[in-house]
Amino acid sequence: MVRNDLFDKNLGFDRGRGRLTEAAWRLVSFVFFVTAFPWPSKLKASLLRGFGAKIGKGFYIRPRVNIHFPWKLEVGDHCWIGDSCELLNLEPIVFEDHVALAHEVYMAAAGHNIKSRTMAYANRPIRVCSGTWIATRAFIGAGVTVGANCVVGACAVVIKDVPDNSVVAGNPARYIATREVTEP
C-alpha cells in the first residue's frame, strides 16, 4: 500500500512573495551571493534592496552568503556579514547597527513543531541588537534576541535570549563574562 506524504510543506508559513519573485531571487543569489566571486558589497546591498530588504549604510558582506528571503531581512548601519553565513529567514532576521557576523554563522529563524506529525513549521524571528559580534560557526535559533554589545563565542549554540553586554559560549550557550568595552 502506498502511503501519502505526511509532511505539509506550507502549514503556517507565509513565503512573503510569489514564485516568480522567489525564482528571480534564487538566480540573483546564485550569481552574486552564494558564489565565491567577491562582488562589491555596494552592488549586493542594491540587489538586496531591490528584493525588499532594508539595508543601512556601510554594509559589508563577504562571498558565499545564503540569504533565504531578502524581503524578510533588515540590516542597520555599518553591519558586516562574513563568508559562508546562512540566514534561514523564513521569519524576519533583524540586525541593528554595528552588528558583525564572523564566518559560517547559521541563523535559523525557522524550525518545526516536534509534536507535529506533519512537520508543521515553528518559525520565529531573530533579532541581533547593536554592537554585537557573533563569532565563527555559532548557531542562533528561532525566536532568539541577542542583546546589545554582546559577544557570542565560536561554535556557540544560542537557543535562548542573550542579555545586553554578555559574552556567551558553548552548547547550549551560557554566560561566561560581562563585556566591558574599554579600548577603541
Ligand X SMILES: CC(C)(COP(=O)(O)OP(=O)(O)OC[C@H]1O[C@@H](n2cnc3c(N)ncnc32)[C@H](O)[C@@H]1OP(=O)(O)O)[C@@H](O)C(=O)NCCC(=O)NCCS
**Rounded distance between C-alpha atoms, residue 55 and residue 58, angstroms:** 9
Contact with ligand X (CB under 6 A) among 89, 130, 136, 166: 136
Contact with ligand X (CB under 6 A) among 61, 126, 144, 167: 167
Among 148, 56, 152, residue whose Cα is nearest residue 104:
152
Task: Note whether 102 binds ligand X by CB under 6 A.
Answer: yes
Contact with ligand X (CB under 6 A) among 154, 157, 159, 164: 154
Decide whether 84 or 123 has the Cβ nearer to ligand X: 84
**Residue 103 bears catalytic tag:** no
User: Cα dist. 137→1, 52, 55, 57, 86 in Å?
Assistant: 44, 27, 23, 26, 10
Shortest distance, position 20 Cβ to ligand X, whole Å: 38
State the alpha helices, DSSP H only, in the chain: 19-28, 41-50
Task: Note whether 176 binds ligand X by CB under 6 A.
Answer: yes
Task: Note whether 153 binds ligand X by CB under 6 A.
Answer: yes
Among 96, 106, 110, residue whose Cα is nearest residue 142:
110
With vertex at residue 134, the alpha carbon angle to CA 128 and CA 140, rounded to the nearest 5 degrees, is 65
Number of residues that bind ligand X (CB under 6 A): 13
Decide if 176 contacts 168 (C-beta within 8 A): yes
- Give yes or no for a cis peptide into 172 (omega within 30° of 0): yes
Cell triple for residue 167?
A: 559574552
Window of 20-28, 47-55, 104-112, 153-161 that interacts with ligand X by CB under 6 A: 153-161
Shortest distance, position 65 Cβ to ligand X, whole Å: 15
Window of 5-13, 14-22, 35-43, 170-178 that interacts with ligand X by CB under 6 A: 170-178
Shortest distance, position 54 Cβ to ligand X, whole Å: 25
Number of Cβ within a 10 Å radius of residue 57:
10
Contact with ligand X (CB under 6 A) among 28, 120, 155, 159: 155
Query: What residues are labeled active site?
Result: 112
- Contact set with ligand X (CB under 6 A): 102-103, 135-136, 151, 153-155, 167, 169-170, 176-177
